[in-house]
Structure 1
Amino acid sequence: MTSNEKVLLALTASIFLTVYVEVAALVLLPIYILVTKQSFIFLRRKQDLFFLSVFWLLSMTVTIYSGGKPVDLLLGVFMIFAFTAMIFITYTMTQRMFRLILSFVCLMSPYCFAVALIQRALGMEWSYGARYSSVFLNPNYYAFYISLVILFCIYNIIKSEGDRLRHVYIALIPVNLLALYLTECRTTYIVLLIVCPIMLAYSGRKKWLAGYLVSIFILMVLLLLFGDSVSFLPRMEPIVEDMCKRLDIWSGAIGSILDAPVFGRGYNTYARIHDLYGSYSIAKHAHNLLLELLMDFGFVGTGVLLGYFSINVSKIIRLHKQNKCHQRYALTITVIVSVLLHGLLDITMLWPQTSLLLMYVVGFSTEYDKEHIFSTSRRHEILTVHAKSARTKETAEPIL
């Protein structure tokens, strides 16, 4: 494993040591790049550097012009480190490293579940009630992580070459569903019901998809028959009240967008404008991904940012059309759908711990070194049983 790959794995591990440790790791990353004389990375990723630099200059200029507070400007400064991580990831990532990171993220989920169980055993409560967030500070961030883990597990089940390894990931799915119950995040239940069959369909697992749909049908019938005694979704009582709060928040966000549609008002806009539009003041953001982006960065900034990600995703689509990278394509599309569905009611993907995971999937560039990325090596340092299986079943087919 190269030093860059070790740093990438350490950066991933920092996610599970609270967001403060991850932020510290992101701040130290540019120092590592300078000390190891790898500044050429940014020149090798000219397209990434251009889009991210234009976006950052626009966003900081707008924030200053709109009277952003020091904390708002600090968010903009932090984006430098986030964008550095993005470029470093697209430069360093390989097929082997991608699978290693996905497996590591999945295998850390029991640890996160254990932390949530300890929080429950201690009777811990927050402003949002007895909803457990593990190492993610907020239960909705934890729930979004869980939805990604379940998709990663499905991906690894499909890619696994031996039954022993496949059983590990199969066992992790119910563990994470139990963890999801502790978060009491209603949205994630619906998201998983939708994205799991999409993952199976794009992966070409027709029998698995049929089994999933039959199971969901049976579950729905049981819910109809025993609806009075079966509680499927948590926190159903306050759902109307919560939706009214969302509508109030969105009205303020839409008002801000209409008044500053081109460039927005910069970082952390909602905290500065909710009194101006008389919207729900306790909320800290728009609770909608598209509204948040348009409110903060306007149509120009949002277009630049989405343009950057669309270019990276288009590389995966192009490889899929060339009959390569089918499973990677399935995972990428499914994760994007998951982000969009979560984004209807929240912005959980715009948190450092969750956004880093999205960088691995959506920001993975396959143009850097295709020969290395599509190598035949499928060794797996985390699960040694995989390494043994790979040595006996290694093929020359380029798979990602």
Structure 2
Amino acid sequence: MFFIFGIDYLKTHFTHYQRYIIVAIFSMFLPFYMCGAILIFLTLRLLWKGEIQDVYKQIPKSRFIIYFCILSAIVSLIYQNYYGVVCSIGLLVILSFVLYYRVHINLRLFEYITNCLIVLSIFAALYGLIEYIGILNSYNIDQFEIMIFNRPQDRINSVFFNANYYAMMIEFFVCITFYKILKIKNIKLEWKRFIYYASVIALNLFVLLLTACRTAWPALAGGILIMLIVDKHYKTCSVILGIVIFACIYFLLNPSQFPRVDNIIDYFMTRAGIWEVAIQNIITHPLFGEGPMTYMHIYSLYNGHPTEHAHSIYLDPLLCFGIVGLMTIAPYIYSNIQRLYHLWKLKIDKTLVALVISFTVMIFIHGLLDYTIFFVQTGFLYLLIASSFDIYKKPLNKYESLRK
């Protein structure tokens, strides 16, 4: 498996353009500021070579990305939200690189990327376990014990800034690995691959427990179930649904076993206070918001809880970008949804469609209580997977041309 990281392998199997994408994938497993710096460097280099300009010309509706980011930066400047200006530039960089990815992605590169993500998730998990041992040692615990801590600094985050971001990355890793299992045509003949993927899932689920992120579990369950439904694995879906129901009943009967149960009321009250502040500011700035990171910019005006965002995927985009801002990017989003739907209609790769839908379902379930998708690594990985329908750009283009 590890030969896939060799320089010779990359040179013989992928084009110069595709190797830019591979570098970006590896950068996700560096600290977020290094990942961001590498993405900026790669995008500027591609811009200098004229590659970014070309992809904007090739992909329909992509110009709305530029309109959206410029509007976001202008609004941020008007309200002196300088973090918002930086985030607007960051959004333009990431979305531009995703367009480049769409032009150069193919099935071989996608399978390579997903293989790399699975292998690298093992290293991230091992790093997290070392981190956890350090946490136990800080409490003078010399033997390995499974303990769920409340304090943020006592929850493992591996290389992903904090525990909640790492938890969302684990959700993605598990779904990608599960996608690989669904791609196995005959488990009896490929049992070694199955055991490898199952072991990776088990390891990631274990470190997910150590992140102490409660929201990740229902999000992951929802994503896996949706993947199985879309891919028409109804029997397996029924079994996993049964396990989920059993777990819910167990925790209802044994509430003390629920992770971090002692602070769950305070947790929800804090979230409710954050949402109240967000709603108040949405009411006063409904059209344009105040730019990215608006909550951090305005919470003190409402004596709100100090944090970076509104902890809700349903509130924060409206808070930051307003109705007009979201409508500006809507044509590009709609064109992507159409393209994914056309891939589903063509019945070329229903498992890939299932993976994209499962990722989206997870961020909307997790987003009920948090906004972990608005971050360099989580957001970038989601956008790459969600844009992977262009693996089949030739049949999609042909299908769409016939419809016109």
Deviation at 1:168, TM superposition (A): 1.5
1:332-360 Cα shifts (integer Å, max 9, x gaps):
11111111111111111111011111111
Determine the structure 2 residue equivalent to 1:344. 368
Determine the structure 1 residue equivalent to 2:244. 216
Structure 1 unaligned blocks of 5 or more: 375-400
Deviation at 1:17, TM superposition (A): 1.5
- Contact preservation (8 Å) 1:110, 1:175: yes
Q: Is the aligned partner of 1:239 residue 2:264?
A: yes
Q: 2:320 aligns with which of 291, 296, 304?
A: 296
Q: Is the aligned partner of 1:32 residue 2:49?
A: no
Which letter maps to 1:349?
I
1:350 is paired with a residue whose SS is: coil
2-structure distance, mates of 1:57, 1:349: 21
- Contact preservation (8 Å) 2:342, 2:396: no
- Contact preservation (8 Å) 1:309, 1:362: no
Deviation at 1:106, TM superposition (A): 1.6
Determine the structure 2 residue equivalent to 1:110. 122
| Distance change in 2, residues 1:221/1:81 (3 Å) | closer
Deviation at 1:19, TM superposition (A): 1.0
- Contact preservation (8 Å) 1:17, 1:135: yes
1:13-50 Cα shifts (integer Å, max 9, x gaps):
11112112211211111233145453453343343531
- Contact preservation (8 Å) 1:89, 1:359: no
Determine the structure 2 residue equivalent to 1:313. 337
1:235-257 Cα shifts (integer Å, max 9, x gaps):
11101001111111111110110
1:289 is paired with a residue whose SS is: coil
2-structure distance, mates of 1:55, 1:356: 17
Deviation at 1:2, TM superposition (A): 0.7
Determine the structure 2 residue equivalent to 1:379. none
Determine the structure 1 residue equivalent to 2:60. 47
Q: Is the aligned partner of 1:268 residue 2:293?
A: yes
Deviation at 1:216, TM superposition (A): 3.4
| Distance change in 2, residues 1:65/1:179 (3 Å) | same
Determine the structure 2 residue equivalent to 1:99. 111
Equivalent runs, 1:47-66 vs 2, <5 Å = 47-66=60-79
- Contact preservation (8 Å) 1:270, 1:284: yes
2-structure distance, mates of 1:259, 1:340: 25
- Contact preservation (8 Å) 2:309, 2:316: yes
* The 10-residue stretch of structure 1 (363-372 or 112-121) with the greater mean CA deviation from structure 2: 363-372
2-structure distance, mates of 1:298, 1:18: 31
Which letter maps to 1:274?
Y
| Distance change in 2, residues 1:126/1:77 (3 Å) | farther
1:348 is paired with a residue whose SS is: coil
1-structure distance, mates of 2:121, 2:307: 29
Deviation at 1:99, TM superposition (A): 2.0
| Distance change in 2, residues 1:189/1:249 (3 Å) | same
2-structure distance, mates of 1:250, 1:222: 30
Q: Is the aligned partner of 1:148 residue 2:176?
A: no
Q: 2:304 aligns with which of 279, 298, 313?
A: 279
| Distance change in 2, residues 1:337/1:152 (3 Å) | same
Equivalent runs, 1:319-358 vs 2, <5 Å = 319-358=343-382
| Distance change in 2, residues 1:36/1:166 (3 Å) | farther
Q: 1:170 aligns with which of 179, 193, 198?
A: 198
Structure 2 unaligned blocks of 5 or more: 1-13, 139-148, 399-404
1:174-220 Cα shifts (integer Å, max 9, x gaps):
11110101100000112122222211111111221122233334445
Q: Is the aligned partner of 1:76 residue 2:88?
A: yes
1-structure distance, mates of 2:250, 2:56: 58
* The 10-residue stretch of structure 1 (175-184 or 56-65) with the greater mean CA deviation from structure 2: 56-65
- Contact preservation (8 Å) 1:72, 1:268: yes
Q: Is the aligned partner of 1:15 residue 2:28?
A: yes
Give the TM-score, by structure 2 length.
0.85
Which letter maps to 2:125?
F
- Contact preservation (8 Å) 1:320, 1:326: yes
1-structure distance, mates of 2:354, 2:269: 35
2-structure distance, mates of 1:218, 1:259: 45
Which letter maps to 1:171?
S
Determine the structure 2 residue equivalent to 1:203. 231
| Distance change in 2, residues 1:35/1:267 (3 Å) | closer
- Contact preservation (8 Å) 1:270, 1:285: yes
| Distance change in 2, residues 1:369/1:175 (3 Å) | same
2-structure distance, mates of 1:252, 1:23: 30
2:62 is paired with a residue whose SS is: helix
2-structure distance, mates of 1:34, 1:217: 50
1:243-291 Cα shifts (integer Å, max 9, x gaps):
11111111111011000101111122111211222221x2111001121
* The 10-residue stretch of structure 1 (209-218 or 332-341) with the greater mean CA deviation from structure 2: 209-218
Aligned residues: 369
| Distance change in 2, residues 1:213/1:52 (3 Å) | same
Which letter maps to 1:166?
F
Which letter maps to 1:64?
L
